[in-house]
């Protein structure tokens, strides 16, 4: 399997794992946050669910005001809706990456509104890393609220 294939397979795997974590969230914990200066559980879940779609638009050079509008349009209130947003974004990102030729994937670049330029392979690696980062946060939020989650929850 190619590097692109491995990254896209990992993206699909972590997306489904995040959706399993979303399904555990109980309504009474949606507004919970570990500290006042941190996202609530609902805000974190929304951010995590939006990463594939929003990061795709970032690497495509979409201006910041349009990204803010996209994030607002992708806000959802429930576990099923977070999963739907994340899966749809994953499909869009995978479709974009799969259509690139090997040369485009390895050598062409996208520039974010904040000035960062990377090749598409670097962007894809960053998206997967971004998702893993916030998946870990969600796991800890659940753990801190007494959910029965452990390593198997993350890797099964």
Using one digit for the tens of pLDDT, what is the confidence trace for 16-29?
A: 999 999 999 999 99
User: Can you tell me the distance from the alpha carbon of 148 to that of 141, in angstroms, rounded to the nearest whole number?
Assistant: 12
**DSSP class of 113:** T
pTM score of the predicted model:
0.96
> Residue ranges per domain, the chain?
3-155
User: Can you tell me the distance from the alpha carbon of 48 to that of 131, in angstroms, rounded to the nearest whole number?
Assistant: 6
User: Can you tell me the distance from the alpha carbon of 88 to that of 53, in angstroms, rounded to the nearest whole number?
Assistant: 8
User: Can you tell me the distance from the alpha carbon of 42 to that of 137, in angstroms, rounded to the nearest whole number?
Assistant: 12
| CATH topology assigned to domain 3-155 | 1.20.120
Using one digit for the tens of pLDDT, what is the confidence trace for 66-81?
A: 999 999 999 999 999 9
54: helix, strand or coil: helix
Mean pLDDT of the 38-51 span = 98
């Amino acid at each position: 399997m190619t590097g692109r294939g491995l990254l896209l397979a990992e993206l699909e795997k972590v997306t489904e794992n995040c959706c399993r974590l979303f399904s555990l969230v109980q309504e009474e914990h949606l507004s919970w946050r570990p500290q006042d200066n941190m996202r609530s559980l609902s805000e974190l879940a929304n951010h995590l669910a939006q990463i594939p779609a929003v990061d795709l638009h970032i690497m495509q050079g979409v201006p910041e005001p349009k990204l803010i509008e996209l994030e607002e349009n992708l806000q959802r209130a429930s576990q099923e809706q977070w999963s739907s947003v994340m899966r749809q974004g994953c499909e869009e990102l995978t479709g974009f990456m799969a259509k690139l030729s090997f040369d485009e994937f390895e050598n062409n670049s996208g520039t974010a509104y904040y000035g960062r330029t990377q090749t598409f392979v670097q962007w894809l690696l960053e998206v997967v890393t971004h998702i893993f980062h916030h998946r870990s946060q969600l796991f800890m939020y659940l753990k801190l609220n007494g959910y029965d989650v452990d390593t198997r929850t993350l890797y099964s």
